[in-house]
Amino acid sequence: MNDNIFLVAILILFVLSSRPKKEKRAKRHILLTDDLHSMDNCCEKANSYGIKVIKPLPYISGMVCEIEDGQDQMLLALNQNLTIEEDVRVYAVDNTVGTAATATDSISLTGAPLLWKRTKGKGISVAVIDTGIANHPDITIAGGISTLGEVNTDKYLDDNGHGTHVAGIIGANGGRRGLLGMAPEADLYAVKALDKDGSGFVSDIIEAIVWAVENKMHIANMSLGTSESSEALRKTIRKAAFSPTIIVAAAGNSGRTDNPDVLYPAKYPEVISVGSANNNGDLSDFSSYGRELDLLAYGNNILSTYLGRTYRRESGTSMAAPQVTGALALMLSLGYRNKDAYRVLINTAKKAPLPPEKQGYGLLDLSTIAAQF
């Protein structure tokens, strides 16, 4: 009988050992350290333990790694001051295609053309952190970068359409159809941090912001977001706030859901958060809102440039944010300093009979500013 038990045990062990082992899946994570020296040490240790280091993030003393289950605890044991977070996905803020019947001439409604006799934004550089910018007769691309992948490249052309639409609202120059953006003479830089599906990692956005800061962009527009807070992104935004680069972001399009909160990075206090207003100047029903909201701009059915040298109408806070970016470009071109430019916009915004969390300081309106000249 003992022999039979022994044989059964051997058989069980054989079956268990012959089962295919569950494959460990590595996920992208961001590791934050105290300083660059600690980052270098951590990078060496990670490599020695077979952890793939995708790319460093020296601006925030961090790096991107692929970590399997359990390896995070091993790294924390090696460095108790280490912060580890998942490198989550960030998306172009969803937008809907509009129709000609209800199109909004948003540029005229903002009062921007009233300022064009004084300035059209010449000399102001704008980083469009998005899906890239496509070649289009109404857009001049001054330069750019792609932060997608393990190595940054100059392959920044748009393969989605979202970034081209946003760029046209900021600075279309009327080359073919006569379509003009808010600041037609501003210099547009394509900073591709989102792929053809309109998606990128937080680390891609971080590198895009860093590029904008290090290349002395006056303004960075981000019509993108995530519902998940990131310490790495927060650290980047805080540090960038001490640079001359103004950061503008779309609030999000979750107004019709049970969770209409403003998305990150627009939710951070150092970022100018922009919601969408409808044709009547009220909060668009799709627009996210909350106490973090700074301004509203028109976001319903906005005509702008698109892929294939075409034009398209779209709705969303993605379309509202670049109007504020373009307005800031005009203010900076007129000689206003960063904080003064922002202060002028919020002080001249149109107030609606809405609570502050649904309009911020009000609806973008440059007509009052134009009347002063």
Write out the DSSP string of 157-186. --SSSHHHHHHHHHH-B-SSS--B-SSTTS
Neighbours of 336 (CB within 10 A): 17
Backbone angles phi, psi at 60, to 5 degrees: -120, 20
Q: Which of 83, 96, 2, 99 is nearest to 315 (CA)?
A: 96
* Catalytic sites, residue numbers: 130, 162, 318
CA distance 368 to 66: 52
The terminus-to-terminus CA distance of the chain in angstroms comes to 104
- Is residue 326 within 8 Å of 186, Cβ to Cβ? yes
- Is residue 252 within 8 Å of 224, Cβ to Cβ? no
Count CA atoms within 13 Å of residue 108 on its CB side.
Answer: 6
What sign results for the dihedral spanned by CA atoms 230, 134, 213, 296?
negative
